[in-house]
Chain A
């Protein structure tokens, strides 16, 4: 029987929830590498708002879904900034895991059908020398 990964996944998810739910509040609020590069040529104030000059960032337009209840990594209606950021992070981690995990679970290779010439379960593959990883290394 193969080793299960669910325990590991649960532990990893817990770490992600703490990072997004708590540690995220201590993240730097300065513009990231991309945004700062696009601000070159403009002058900005202490809140990183453009005060003058000319730069690519001035062409930025509103997001299509700027009114989303979770827009800008906060929860609309929650005034406490710490709580708002943390809860949006928790929601994001759970949503990403649900969407990603769900899609990957549906896409997964079931049974022996997909690998030509295997004809049996992966656990038995080693006895016949089948290479499950063939073609994935490059």
Chain B
């Protein structure tokens, strides 16, 4: 077994189910391109490239969790959603997963649709739903933003892990003898701990960007416009 693999390896989920999820991922990413283009302007495009590169880098940094012998790493869905929005964010995480599968031998190429569905689509979607809700109810302070980032990142990791459980239920190659709940519980428990790490990394990163260049945080532009009537992004000198 390749010890450095971080995503679903070949052979874990059967071919037909992997194929179905490849089609699902392709359709969803096409939709993300169509919606994301509305957000992508001269300023967001290089920022989105940076977010993808940053997620690649931080995914290499497996951190220990409190359970002995197990590590975790960033997935990046919440970070991407906060910085470049849900549509472009999902594309950012997908770019990372595609580069990892095609160049670094991490995550089977045949499994790419499964990995994209869990981490890029489910993770980012869950994160952005929470971000949209929390930013509206929490105080408009750096702490409010950090709490939003932490909570949305933590939950998105657990949601992504349960995406895998559903995929395993549909097409897992080992008969668990009806003990799918065992896998669900193990995955949820370990990813709750990983989610704490994900939350800390996401909150730290977003708080730093918000301090240096708040105009580059998509979630603040879209959900917390500085002045109510004109929430136009990219207004120079407005902040």
Where the two chains meet, the residues of A that have a C-beta atom closer than 8 Å to any C-beta of B are: 1-6, 8-9, 12-13, 15-17, 19-20, 23-24, 27-38, 40, 47-50, 54-66, 68, 70-73, 88-89, 92-105, 107-109, 114-115, 122-123, 125-126, 129-133, 135-138
Contact = CB atoms under 8 A, between A and B. Distances in A.
B93 to A, nearest CB: 10
15 contacts: A6-B46, A8-B50, A16-B54, A16-B58, A19-B57, A28-B71, A29-B4, A33-B65, A34-B164, A36-B69, A63-B5, A100-B48, A100-B92, A104-B46, A107-B33
Contacts of B9: 60-61, 63
B69 A19 contact: no
Q: Give the bracket for the number of chain B residues in contact with chain A.
A: 35 or more
A75 to B, nearest CB: 11
Contacts of B73: 27, 32
Given A34-B161, A88-B104, A19 B60 contact: yes
B105 A12 contact: no
A90 B75 CA distance: 19
Interface of B: 1-12, 33, 35-58, 60-65, 67, 69-73, 85, 87-88, 91-92, 95-96, 98-106, 108-110, 132, 161, 164, 168, 172-174, 176, 182-183, 186-187, 190-191, 193-194, 212-213, 215-216, 221-223, 225, 229-237
